[in-house]
Amino acid sequence: MERPIGVFDSGIGGISVLKRLLKVLPQEKYYYFADEINLPYGDKSPEEIQNLSKKAFDYFKKLDVKLAVLACNTATACAKPYLEANFDFPIFGVIQAGAKDKRLLGKKKVAILATKATIASCKYQEEIAKFYPQIKSYGIACPGLADAIDAQDYPLIEDLIFKASEKIDADTDVAILACTHYPLVRDVFENIFKKKNLSPILIDPADGLAIEIENYIKKSGMKSSKGELHFYSTADLNEFISKSEKLLNK
């Protein structure tokens, strides 16, 4: 029997990762778990994030997934080692994929736009230093932005991104969208940055992550033949499916 892939996020942010996966691996069977009742994760403690993530991964274990994707930077930062110690299937996270992105080659200054918890963990800064020691990286927390994106509150989204843009140094080469929600409003980032005469390259870590998973599946011989997509939400499933389908078709 062909085993599925589990994809986990607190809300709709992970859809940006799922979209990349569907593009490179359309024949796979996916189960997307959204812990909407407990969002946002960005303001929670590492211990809370670990416990909540474990519940989703218990669900994946029952499904006998062949691998799981932490489509959430906050969960990757705070829970990945904990989950790897408790589950025997491969777990992929977004942070390392973003930190080793080849577009960082030769760059000097990188801004990391993320939740409060991801910035506090310093995981991005640590990983970037491993691959590109010459880069000076700095974090900008964007409290409330992931929540506003989940709520699709565009006036608030614009206001929060504008506030974040005021903290970006003019000589910044790259801005990493280090929350999977943020690429869903990439156009808003681009428009506001342009108005403020900022021109960093925007990197979505999901790009590298999807390729990494594609390569793993090819090498391991675990490729499936019939594409399927299933959703699970701890809140209103029908509402979540409706929002997700709009984003996948955008």
Residues assigned a catalytic role = 72, 179
Q: How many CB atoms lie within 10 A of CB 62?
A: 8
Q: What are the structure tokens assigned to 126, written together?
A: 């640590």
Q: Which residue has the tokens 């869903």?
A: 184
Cα of 69 vs its chain's centroid, Å? 9
**CB–CB of 80/56 below 8 Å?**
no
Summarize the chain as % helix, strand, coil (round to 5): 50, 15, 30
142: left (phi over 0), alpha (psi -120 to 50) or beta: beta
Residue 91 CB-density burial (10 A; 0-12 exposed, 13-18 middle, 19+ buried): buried
C-alpha distances in angstroms, 73 versus 106, 168, 180? 24, 20, 7
Query: How far is residue 54's CA from residue 151's CA, in Å, rounded to a whole number?
Result: 25
